[in-house]
Amino acid sequence: MVKENMKIISYNVNGIRAALKKDFIGWLKSANPDVICLQETKAMKEQLDLEVFEEAGYIYNYWYSAQKKGYSGVAILSKIEPNHVEFGTGIESMDFEGRNIRADFDGVSVMSYICHREQTVRD
């Protein structure tokens, strides 16, 4: 169930493992969002100790990594359980780089997306 005043933050961490060494968890606890979208995680879920996020209250965490290690990647961490999580776009040329993840809550969809630097957004 979505809170009336849901706090959502988007953050390009430029490497989650490096961010964790720089007290990302301390910052996360201080900012205290209900949902945080991360970009450029540059790590696979298996490379992380997910307990640090769970101990900070983000028991629902979803990671979508690039096939190439240390590249790209997005995540959504949440204190609220989403109704549905969509990994990727269904477009193979985009999905192998782990650039898009969406979480649907009651009446709200939250997306963590990295636009490729050579990609343009068109109508």
Q: Which residues are annotated as a binding site for Mg(2+)?
A: 12, 40
Q: Which residues make Cβ contacts (< 8 Å) with residue 27, sequence separation at least 6?
A: none
Annotated binding site: 12, 40
Q: Report the alpha-carbon distance of residue 38 to residue 14 in Å, rounded.
A: 9
Coil, strand or helix at 6: coil
Q: Where are the beta strands (DSSP E) in the chain?
A: 8-12, 35-39, 60-64, 74-78, 84-87, 100-105, 108-113
